[in-house]
Structure formats: C-alpha cells, structure tokens
Chain A
Amino acid sequence: MAKKWNLVIDVSRCMDCNDCFLADKDEFTGNDFPPYSVAQPWSGHRWMNIMRTERGQYPLVQVAYRPTPCLHCDDAPCIAKSPAGTVFKREDGLVIIDPVKAKGHPEIVATCPYEVIYWNEEAQVAQKCTGCAHLIDEGWTDTRCSQVCPAEAIKLVFADDAEMAAKAAAEGLEVLRPELGAKPRVYYKDLYLFDKAFIAASLAFGDTDECAEGARVTVSETSGGAVVGEAVASNYGDFYVDKLVPGKEYGVTIEAPGYAPATRIINLDKSVNLGTIVLGRP
C-alpha cells in the first residue's frame, strides 16, 4: 500500500509563534498553484488556524494553542456534501477543492464541520489548506508549516494506513471530534490540554502557614465513585488533577498526615482553581 500524507501536531509544543500560519500565507497569498489552488486573498483566511485556550483562574492557569489546518479526512464531509467533482481526494490522502470545478459554489464552505474552509470573494471559490500538494509533487518531504515550525510541533508523516494507525496507538494520538466519523488524517498529541478540564488548588497548612507539600488529592466521579484522578501537592502547595471530562460532578478529597482531610464537590463545567485551601489539625 502506498505511503500517504499524515500530519501530527503536538499541542504541548506549540507556543503560538504563528510561523505556520504565516508560512501558509507566504506560500499561497498571491500565488497560484494549479491544479490545486488559486491565490489566497491578502487578508481574512486562516488555512492554518491557531486556536487558543485558557484553563483555570488566576493564579492557577494553563494556556495552550492548537494549530488547525484542513484535516484531510478520509470520509470527508466536504466531498460527500459538495457538488460532485468539486472536491476530490488524492491517492496520498489529501483533500483538494478543485479551484476550477468548484468556482461559484459558496455552499462548499459550510460542508465542513471543522470550519476550515474559507470563501475567496475575488476568485469566487471555496479554499482551504491543500496540504502543500504542489510541493509534495515536487518531492518536498515537509509542508510549509512543518518546515517552518521552530518547535517541531508539526510533523509530516508519510505512512500507509496501517503504519499510521499503529503510530497513533503507540503515541496516544487523537483526532478532533472522532464522533463525527470523518477519519481525519491530522493527528494531535496531548489534545487534553485543549479539550479536557482540570481541578486545581493551592494547599496550605493552617498551623504553620507553610505550603502543604505532599498532600494527596483524589478525584472521583460522584456517580459511581470511580477514582478518575490523583495528584500530590507540589512544594508550592499546588495540585492539578487533569484530563477530567467536563460536564460531570466530581468529589475531591485532600489528605495530609496529621491534618483533617478536606473534601469538595465540584460540578465541573470547565477547569477550575478552587483557590487556597487551608488544612487544619484534626
């Protein structure tokens, strides 16, 4: 089976430099690359869209960025829902909007549940990331975004489907919104930084006013009681119990030898900093 195009993006490495976003603009703005694309407009398109999220509240806050290109899905909604022949899939997996056949079809923009397609008013064509198909054809082993990324957060992987599935399993890679069944070819590492929630707090010993280093924290689901996360407070008394599914109710138990345990019930709609929790003697 032939090697196919896959992109692996490591959320934990992205520091929002925007080099990928800008390299995409550098490649495609004002430049036609037939048969894959006509020039991107000077302003307004985000073929590589960098999403930002903040989790928690001051001072226990985490920030992450997620570069988001076209995901080049294997069961691509854009191909299924667009007029026949306007959007096609290459043998290497890349999904291409044909800039000639797709002209005059703004409805293509709305076919993508991931919202990665943009309308080019001047050229009257729907546009998106081409996966740098024209460069791949020339023998490039990088896309512009993977080539420019100083953090090596974006990597182009040529692999057949079995190899890629094995790699995804071995490295814990995920795709965006798998429930859609679109089978994206863009994989993410440490996606929890974006779509899961944490419970955090600063713990202090009331009698000494020292940070409660070593206090043990257990988080369990209130329905069923299964333990879903554990943490030990750092030397600053902080803990984060992460990778929790938001929208559920959790019980938090904090224990330190010689101190009375503290408990909290949290209805977790988003990441939360419980603030300073002072542990007292029993």
Chain B
Amino acid sequence: MGDVKRYTNGTTGGPVFVDVKDGKILRILPMTFDDSDAPSWTIDARGRAFTPPRRAAVSPWTVAHRSTIYSPKRILTPLKRVDFDPKGARNIQNRGVSGYEPISWDEAFEMVADEIVRIHREVGPAGVMSTPGSHHMWGNVGYRHSTLFRFLNLIGYTYAEHNPDSWEGWHWGAMHMWGFSHRLGIPEQYGLLEDALKNTEMIVYWSADPESSCTGVYGGNEGNIRRRWLKELGVKMIVIDPYLNHTQALIGDKWFSPRLGTDVAMGLAIAYTWLTEGTYDKEYIATRSTGFDEWKDYVLGKTDNVPKSPEWAQQESGIPAREIRALAREWASKKTMLAAGGPGGMGGASRAASGNEWARTMVALAAMQGLGKPGSNIWGTTSGVPLDCGFMFPGYAEGGISGDTANSAAGFRFVNRMFPNGGGITNPHHTTEGQTVPRLRIPEAMRHETVEWRGKGFCGSHIESQFQKYEYPAQGYPQVEMYYRYGGSFFGTMTETNRYVTAYREGKVPFVVNQAIWFEGETKFADVILPACTNFERYDISEGANCSGYISDSYTFANHRVIVFQQKCIEPLGDSKSDYAIFEGLADRLGLWGPFTMGGKTELDWVKDYYNATDMPKVMPWDEFAEKGYYVVPSPAPEDRPKPALRWFAEDRPKDTPDWGPAPWDQVKGAGLQTMSGKIEFVASSLKRLEATGTVDPERPAMGPQYFESWEGHHTADLYGRYPLQLVSPHPKFSFHTMGDAKDSWMNEVKDNRVLVDGHFYWIMRVNAKDAAERGIADGDLVRAFNDRGSVILYAQVTERVPPGTVHSYESSGDYQALGEPGHSPDIAGCVNILTPKRFITPTSTAMANNSCLIEVEKWGGAAGSAAAGGAGKNGAVKEGVA
C-alpha cells in the first residue's frame, strides 16, 4: 500500500483523515492526534483525573462518507427535465415525474442565467427565491452563509428564511423569560463539564438524547465518554422522553414517558411539589427572578381553581402522581443538571404545540433549584468542555467569504478581518427592508398566495425583533418567479410536506433550478439540476463542531479544538463542480464575475485569505498548516478556563464568561440577563409590551409557563377519535437532517435506520406491542401511517420503547418516492413530515410543531415494486446513463 496518500478533511460529524490511492478514496478515518499536537485537558474531580481520548469521536454518517461520495445517487452531469423548454412549453405539472436528459455546463449556465435576467427585467431581482438545506457540506468557505450568500447577494433574491427548527420553543418562549437572543433563546454552556464532574449529583435529560449523534449537534459522539465519567461517579440519570431513547438505553436509571404534549403539566406538578413542600431555592427566586408570586398562585390553582398537583398531572400525562413527587423530591435534594434538549436548550418538546411554554418550564424549574449555582444548571452534557475560547477562529455562520452582515454573524468580528479593505457583500433586499418568505410557507409563496408572519428568520438581534410583522409579497415586491434550490430536501423536514410537493406541480413558479450533489427527494422536482461536488473534491477550511454565529463557541461540543485544512482529496466526480465554480460560471454570464471572485480569487485563495483572517498565522505558518492539514488549539491552563455559565448571574456579578452577548444596550453595567428586569421573568416584560401594543397571544401569555391542552392531541376529541395515535418524530440518530440519509449509501443498512424489504429500504416506525396487536400488525410488517394530510408507508418495529398510544419515527428522510401522483399518494421513502401540521406553534410564533401530530396506522399490503412504475420512483425518473 505504498502509494497511499493521507489527506485531511472535515465533516458535520467531526474531522477526518482521508487515505487516497490512485485518485480514489480508500478509507476515511476519525482524526487522531499525536505527540506533535497540543496536549489534551485534564479535569481533576472527586479524586479522579479525566482526560479525553486523543482522537475524534465521529458520527456514523461521517464514517460512511465514502459511500455518499461515491453514491449511486450522485448527479454527475448537468440535467434538464426532458419536457421542459424555457422558450416553449415548461410543463411544470410534470415535475417529479418526467425524467432528465444531460446537458452541457454551457447550456445549463445559459439557461439559468437567461432566467435570472428575464426575471430581473420582468419583475425585479426579488422574483428569484432561494434557500439552502439546513446542513450542507462542511467548510467555512463553501458553506451556505459564505459562497452561496456571496452569489445570491450579488444577483438579488427573496430568501426563504429558516426558522429555528431544532429549538423553536426556546426562541419563541424561553427568550422572553431569560433573554439569550444572541443565542436564539438557548443558554451558554461554558465551564459546565468541569462543574458537573465536580458538583452534580443528578442529570435530568428532558426531551434530550445526546447519545443520538444528531443531538450532540456537530460534536458527533464526542460527549459519550463524558457521560460515562459522570455515570461512573454515581451521578443519577433520569430520562424524560416519549421514546426510550439511546441515552436512557445506555445510562438511564429511570425513564418517564409523559403523553405527548403534556410535559408542561408534569413540569408544573414538579414545581407544585416544591412549592407545597418548601423545597425550592427561595432566596434565589426572591433575588434573581421577577413575577414569581403571580406564577406561584397559578401553579397552586389560586387564580384558576386548578391546582397543578401531581394528581392533576397524572390525569394529563399518564405518569403516576407518586412518581412525579418522587422525582420532584430527588431533584430538590440533589444538585441537578437539567439537560433540556441535547445541546441544553433544544428537544422535540420545543417543536410542538406549547413548545414555548415547555422551554419556559425548563427555565422555571432550573431557576427554582438555583440555576447557575455549582452543579445546578441547564446543561445538555454535550458541550462546555474546557477549551481556549480566546483563540479566534470563526464558525460557519460568521459569513465566510460573503461578509454578509445582515444574514450571518459576520458583523460580530469577522468581516473586518476578512475584508479589511472592503469586498464583503450585504444586499438590502435580503434584510428587514426587503422581501423574505418563511421557509414554512414556501409552498404558499410558490402558489402566489399572500402570507403574514412575525420575525425574520433567525431573528436574534434583540428580543423584540421576533415580534415584527411581515407579509409576502412585501409592499411593492413581486411574487416569486424562480426557485433556486440548494441542497437538502424539505419534504422530509418541514411540516405537512405534501404542500411542498404539490407547490412544484400545481404552483405558479415557472422555473426551478436545484444545485445539488445527490438525487434527494426534492431534487427530482427541478427543471434544471446543477451537480455540485462534495467537500472532499475541493478545498476548504473549518473547525470541528464550530457553527459559531448560531451557537457561540460551539466547538466546545468537541473534546479538542481542531482547525482543519480541508484538502482536496480527489477530483470532482464526473462533470460535477464545486459550488464556487458553479456560481463563478453563472456570475460570468451575468457580468458579475469580477465582484463575485474579487478579481479572480480561486477557492484556495479564499481559503488562504480566511486562514489569514483568523488567529492561525500567529501559531502556524500557512505552508506548515497546508502540509500537516490541521492544528489542535492548546487547552488553557486550569485557571484560565472559561468560567461556569450563569454563575455570574446566580451570584449577581458582571458577566465573566466568553459569551458575546447580550449587546451592551440590552444589559446594564455588564450584569444581568437581557430581560428588562435583568432577571428571570415569570411575567415576561417583553410579552407584556407586545400585549400593550394590541397583540394578545393566548398561547403565549405574559405570565408563564402555563399549561395548554395541545391543539392537536388527546383533547382534540374529533381528530383524536379518528386518529388515536400520537406521532413523535425527533431529529434522527443516523442522519443530520437529510444529509446522511438515502443516497443508496451504507447508512441504508444500519438496522435501526432503514430496513430492506423486497428490494426497498423502508424507514422505520416504532409501535407499541399493544397498539400493534390491536391492529393486527406484527414486527417487520409494512404499515401505512396516515391522517387527513397524507400517508407514508413504513416498516413497523414492534417495541416496548414507546407507550401504548404513541408511535415514533425519526424525521428527515432524504428521499421521496410517491406511489402514484406526487403529493396525492403514499410516500414509500419515509417522509413522516407529510403527516405533521403546518400550523405555527402559537399564533404569533413562526415555528413548527412537528410533535403535535395525530395519525392512524394500518397494515399495508402493497409492494414497493409498483413505485417504479409511476411517480418519482427510485431511479425511475432518471434516464439511463445519467446518474
């Protein structure tokens, strides 16, 4: 094997070594560190010394990356739908059904550029709508905030804004209780690993599955060993989740599965127990919160005659009152970390009706037990590792080569270092002054309907920004005439997703281009497909787990700070090109080549510029970095480690963590939270002001958290009568949104991901044995899950890991295969979001409630073989020799 060359690269699941032989990737290995790299940190706690392994702990889809790079579903040449003629019949009604024919890059560039020019001339640049998938290929130069925004900002467009899809309730609810708008409602996590190892006695994982690699976010499986240490120290592990998740399976001491939509009731009953037994931190509540007495009266039932007692909560949640009391008592007696969602502020319960009130409940409970005091915090167990937060290397959401200060965090620090003499591009059309569409209403925009909502995308500049009202079309702006889709498939990830399917075929958008690497579910609905390559086929630069701009200092998900030169390992497959090269080709035809490339910079030039704009040149010359491929940032000395999150708040001191917010105007003298009082607000001043300006949202009241019966749950009698099963569809264990799924990759063969039946890999639905027996369903049967919104064919896994009445199926199918007419027939690829409601979680929260979903399940006698005959069959829509 003498001719094997080792390269370095980065992925959404961790940094890797790539062995290449004869121009092909031989193997992909998790990065390991040797004596030439900086030593790892050691935490001394309870008589033991804890230090991490000298290697990356990567996600499964990272290990399987060779199979997605060389996937049979790769698109290797530009394609045009066979019955699409931009100068004649466009036949948009056939999208998703008619096949494709190869065209040259020149033809593809001309076709797309001509459409962009036509739209500029006919309706203006905002007639072009565009949006990417949530998680594209890794790399700060190639990332969507970077290369994509640089191009789009130059041509002008209507951006389909992303909602905070993984942590909705924190953004729309918890933010009003404790601020953190710069983190979109999620708390800081600095220093909490050491705090937990030293002080914590119990961890409550509430709607959290950190052992599911996706909810360790970009940290892959890095946190596994830290939870093992805590377990070995005797820290008690409680898991509250409708599904007996992998964290409970591995380390859980007690599992609670409250009925979907009733977590708030269970939380209020815990508070009730503490109130009636006097076991909460009264001094903390008195000095660090406001509005508590009003909320206390609500919990005790003094205002509505409904005491939120454990017995009351038992009626709602199905959890025995005595067990709720036992949990409350143990929690009060032990220093407890509340892992409220994998990263500490996330979780499926926040993606549901009243997700806002659930997130507020988490803050309320943590506050009642001294949030921020030693061993007591909201901490997901996935981050807060003692790394050097002073070493400046930005995350992927800090703008990269776009320098977009309105739609990324570039304005925070990076743009002036990257573009000291100008050259960053921000487009005022793509700001609050222009036109946007919420991603959850893309289908309505494509149908040229009108839409109203609040908050522009990840609106975290300040708390009130999420109250601002928007409309589509914006005053004086056009309806969209072109959709420039970029990576991913929303059919598997958004809500009521047959809307997204039918919008292509029955809507009013005459031109759709999809720039994609693979034939994912949504790719097959474009008129023109531009084949992009993976990050293993081009240059880039990144840091493991660093998505800063979204989550500040998120590299603390990982055990080491690893800056990676993403070396070009192989040439782009087929005729695919890097995203940068594709945009460069289009920019050339639009007369924008100069500004797009800033005078002809190559991707490698941008990577070097990027490197030079960080702290990297201070520690390693470019040539050495380019050769070695990575740099491990030394861990700080124990006395220099980041201070524990919110300890400053608990002790009423100025903030002393490395966090970059709140903004100076949202704080007084550098101390206090971002709320008006500077304290945890049980009566939210921001929501009171919203009410004072005439908007009362009964599902998001100023005083809270409050329990509301779900608007799609066991109290919605008529619907529940017809569809008596509650579906929970969490982020998947085996994919990062759609990125790791389908593609005929080895991920298909992971037993708990998909199952092969009669030649088709089915997505799994987990059904309790009792529900299965009542419906004549046996383990391994194919089933049809359905409601009024559509139906999905799935593989039934009969299990005790869900209670009767609850079914579980991960979201994020990467494919979509209709058995008949797309959007009007069952999908056999597993897009369970076809079944979820499009309603926002509250009338004023532009958020999705995937986990408020009633369905029925029946045994299905069909066969996948019929899928190829009609609809967007597995490969049926692709002409021979194309893919």
A-side interface residues toward B, CB under 8 Å?
A: 13-19, 21-23, 25-27, 29-31, 42-44, 46, 50, 52, 54, 56-59, 61-65, 138, 144, 147-148, 150-152, 202, 204, 209-211, 213, 234-238, 276
Given A18-B734, A210-B325, are A235 and B225 also a contact pair (CB < 8 Å)?
A: no
Contacting residues of chain B (365-421) with chain A, CB-CB under 8 angstroms: none
B846 within 8 A of partner (CB): no
Q: How many positions in chain B have a CB within 8 Å of any CB in the partner chain?
A: 64
| Across-interface contacts of A204 in B (CB, < 8 A) | 320, 322
| Across-interface contacts of B801 in A (CB, < 8 A) | 54, 58, 61, 63
**Majority DSSP secondary structure for residues of A touching B:** mixed
A59 touches B60 (CB 8 A): no
Contacting residues of chain B (199-239) with chain A, CB-CB under 8 angstroms: 211, 213, 220-222, 224-225, 228
Mask, B308-328, CB within 8 Å of A = 1, is 000000000000111101110
B-side interface residues toward A, CB under 8 Å?
A: 1, 26-30, 32, 53, 55, 57-60, 63-64, 66-67, 70, 211, 213, 220-222, 224-225, 228, 244, 246-250, 253-257, 320-323, 325-327, 329-330, 733-734, 746-753, 768-769, 799-804
| Across-interface contacts of B323 in A (CB, < 8 A) | 202, 211, 236-237
| Across-interface contacts of B248 in A (CB, < 8 A) | 63
A98 to B752: give the CA distance in the assembly, Å: 32
A23 to B58: give the CA distance in the assembly, Å: 11
Chain B nearest CB, measured from A43 CB (Å): 6
A234 touches B30 (CB 8 A): no
Closest to A25 in B: B746
B221 touches A17 (CB 8 A): yes
Chain B nearest CB, measured from A270 CB (Å): 11
| Across-interface contacts of A25 in B (CB, < 8 A) | 64, 67, 746, 749
Given A147-B30, A150-B225, are A58 and B751 also a contact pair (CB < 8 Å)?
A: no
Given contacts A63-B801, A148-B30, A150-B224, 18 further A-B contacts (CB under 8 A): A14-B250, A15-B211, A17-B60, A18-B63, A18-B752, A25-B746, A26-B28, A30-B70, A54-B801, A56-B800, A57-B800, A58-B804, A147-B30, A151-B228, A152-B225, A211-B322, A235-B330, A237-B323
List 7 interface pairs A-B (beta carbons < 8 Å), by A numbering.
A16-B246, A18-B752, A19-B63, A147-B32, A150-B220, A151-B224, A152-B225
| Across-interface contacts of B1 in A (CB, < 8 A) | 138
Chain A nearest CB, measured from B329 CB (Å): 8
A17 to B753: give the CA distance in the assembly, Å: 11
Max count, chain A CB within 10 A of own CB: residue among B256, B747, B800 = B800
| Across-interface contacts of A21 in B (CB, < 8 A) | 749-750
**Majority DSSP secondary structure for residues of B touching A:** mixed
Chain A nearest CB, measured from B517 CB (Å): 18
Chain B nearest CB, measured from A143 CB (Å): 12
Option from B63, B752, B769 in Cβ contact (under 8 Å) with A148 = B63
B249 touches A15 (CB 8 A): yes
Chain B nearest CB, measured from A146 CB (Å): 11
| Across-interface contacts of A16 in B (CB, < 8 A) | 246, 249, 733, 752
Given A13-B228, A23-B63, A151-B224, are A63 and B322 also a contact pair (CB < 8 Å)?
A: no
B63 touches A211 (CB 8 A): no
B322 touches A210 (CB 8 A): yes
Chain A nearest CB, measured from B588 CB (Å): 37
Option from B63, B66, B225, B327 in Cβ contact (under 8 Å) with A151 = B225
Given A56-B800, A58-B803, A64-B249, are A29 and B244 also a contact pair (CB < 8 Å)?
A: no
Closest 10 CB pairs of A and B: A150-B57, A150-B221, A63-B249, A22-B63, A15-B250, A22-B64, A15-B211, A61-B800, A25-B746, A58-B800
A237 touches B255 (CB 8 A): no
Given A22-B750, A29-B67, are A151 and B221 also a contact pair (CB < 8 Å)?
A: yes
B752 touches A22 (CB 8 A): no
| Across-interface contacts of A22 in B (CB, < 8 A) | 60, 63-64, 746-747, 750
A147 to B27: give the CA distance in the assembly, Å: 13
Closest to B222 in A: A150
Chain A nearest CB, measured from B614 CB (Å): 28
A27 to B21: give the CA distance in the assembly, Å: 13
| Across-interface contacts of B768 in A (CB, < 8 A) | 58
B53 touches A59 (CB 8 A): no
Chain B nearest CB, measured from A240 CB (Å): 11
A14 to B246: give the CA distance in the assembly, Å: 10
| Across-interface contacts of A236 in B (CB, < 8 A) | 254, 323, 326-327
B63 touches A31 (CB 8 A): no
A19 to B225: give the CA distance in the assembly, Å: 15
| Across-interface contacts of A234 in B (CB, < 8 A) | 253-254
| Across-interface contacts of A57 in B (CB, < 8 A) | 769, 800
A209 to B325: give the CA distance in the assembly, Å: 10
Chain B nearest CB, measured from A20 CB (Å): 9
A18 to B244: give the CA distance in the assembly, Å: 18
Chain B nearest CB, measured from A221 CB (Å): 26
Closest to B65 in A: A26
A103 to B420: give the CA distance in the assembly, Å: 65
A237 touches B326 (CB 8 A): yes
A237 touches B322 (CB 8 A): yes
